Amino acid sequence: MREARLIGSLRYRSLRYTKNHPLRIPRVSLLLEFLDAMKLIADEEKVEGREATLEELLLFHEREYIETLIEADRCQCVPKGAREKFNIGNYENPVSPAMFRGSSLATGSSVQAVELFLEGYTAFNPAGGMHHAFKNRANGFCFINDPVIAIEVLRKKGFKRILYIDLDAHHCDGVQEAYYDTDEVFVLSLHQSPEYAFPFKRGFIEERGEGEGKGYNLNVPLPKGVNDTEFTYTLEKTLIYLKDVFQPQVYVLQLGTDPLLEDPLSKFQLSNVGFLEAFRIVKDAFGVGVYLGGGGYHPIALARCWTLIWCEISQREAPDEITPAGEKVLRSVDWEEFDDEVDRTYMFKELKDKPRTGEIRAEIKNLLQKVKATLYS
């Protein structure tokens, strides 16, 4: 039986994005505080995250780009030409303590997750999953692509059949580009269709890889309003098909919580118990993997959801109700609902959402037919 480890740090409290940025919210620090308040984590299960080394960062990113991030962090300014060349210093990817120090800490923690996995633990790095960053350019709130660096560490360890699964509401364009021409990493992403959601230009089902990577990239672009039933059905069917054509030695799973109904940056309607079921479907299919966080822009929804994931990883029975101490932690968050007419008081009393099930629409079934045809072609 593998022991569980959660890699995190309260240092993220001071490594925040700029005011009014969607990632300004507390995430990892809130999760740690909430788990402590709920008595759902032991001290020996906590691992203090560390910064990535320069050598680790250069496993994927170009040196000039990393050096520019370091300089921007040092002066908390935009170095000359960096905005145009590296997409640094705009509203999407602002200069802040999160830009390099926070990203480096998240990336080093993803490397730790790989190391702990290889040592026989089940490891979760909720700060990881920054899947949009490119080799030499910031993108989609992401500066350093820690999933790619985690995968590169696995490749250096000799793994040649790695599966990357991304459950974030947004397509993993940075990871896709990194492995688009190799057959050693299969990239699977379930996400909002780029017809209506970021990154808009990538994430279509027709993108299958090129060269040696042809057939090793699969996008499942979903319509608006996806419910628990549709999401888990799509994931389960897709994994059944995928296992016919690719048998991984190891997998990395990105667990961004923005598919939840409450999240302001997606059009999905999942409950946290539906998201937990999706996690179980992956684990049942492939066993234990390396677990990373990802998107998630509603702090209360995120903390509740990742708590359920952590309980599953650490083989705890998740409680139904939030304790007074847990509620106090959640209510301490400086956060305003985007739609203040919606009653969200249940989020402070109940840990588990009521399931958000429904019919499986014809367009979902049609999409799965395309997925099957694409994988078997």
Q: What was the pLDDT predicted at 335?
A: 85
Residues 162 and 249 sit within 8 Å (Cβ to Cβ) = yes
In degrees, rounded to 5, the angle at the alpha carbon of residue 149 between the alpha carbons of residues 41 and 139 is 100
Residue 131 annotated among the catalytic residues of the structure = no
- CB atoms under 10 Å from CB of 195, counted, come to 11
What pTM value is reported for the model?
0.97
Count how many Cα atoms sit within 13 Å of the Cα of residue 46 in the half-sphere of its side chain.
Answer: 16
Coil, helix or strand at residue 347: helix
- pLDDT, one tens digit per residue, over 156-184 is 999 999 999 999 999 999 999 999 999 99
Q: Considering only CA atoms, which of 4, 26, 6, 8 is closest in space to residue 332?
A: 26
Coil, helix or strand at residue 65: helix
| Domain 4-166+242-349: CATH superfamily, name plus number | Histone deacetylase domain (3.40.800.20)
Q: What was the pLDDT predicted at 210?
A: 98
Q: Tell me the pLDDT of the chain (377 aa) as tens digits.
A: 799 999 999 999 999 999 989 999 999 999 999 999 999 999 999 999 999 999 999 999 999 999 999 999 999 999 999 999 999 999 999 999 999 999 999 999 999 999 999 999 999 999 999 999 999 999 999 999 999 999 999 999 999 999 999 999 999 999 999 999 999 999 999 999 999 999 999 999 999 999 999 999 999 999 999 999 999 999 999 999 999 999 999 999 999 999 999 999 999 999 999 999 999 999 999 999 999 999 999 999 999 999 999 999 999 999 999 999 999 999 999 888 777 788 899 999 999 999 999 999 999 999 999 999 999 98
Q: What was the pLDDT predicted at 368?
A: 98
Alpha helices in the chain (DSSP H): 28-37, 54-57, 63-75, 82-86, 103-118, 146-156, 173-178, 228-245, 272-286, 299-313, 324-331, 362-376
Q: What was the pLDDT predicted at 155?
A: 98
Q: What was the pLDDT predicted at 336?
A: 81
Q: CA-to-CA distance for 280 and 301, rounded, in angstroms?
A: 19
Q: What was the pLDDT predicted at 29?
A: 98
- pLDDT, one tens digit per residue, over 238-271 is 999 999 999 999 999 999 999 999 999 999 999 9
N-terminal to C-terminal alpha carbon distance within the chain: 39
Options 132, 170, 191, 298, the catalytic residue: 132
Q: What was the pLDDT predicted at 342?
A: 84
Q: What was the pLDDT predicted at 236?
A: 98
Q: CA-to-CA distance for 344 and 191, rounded, in angstroms?
A: 25
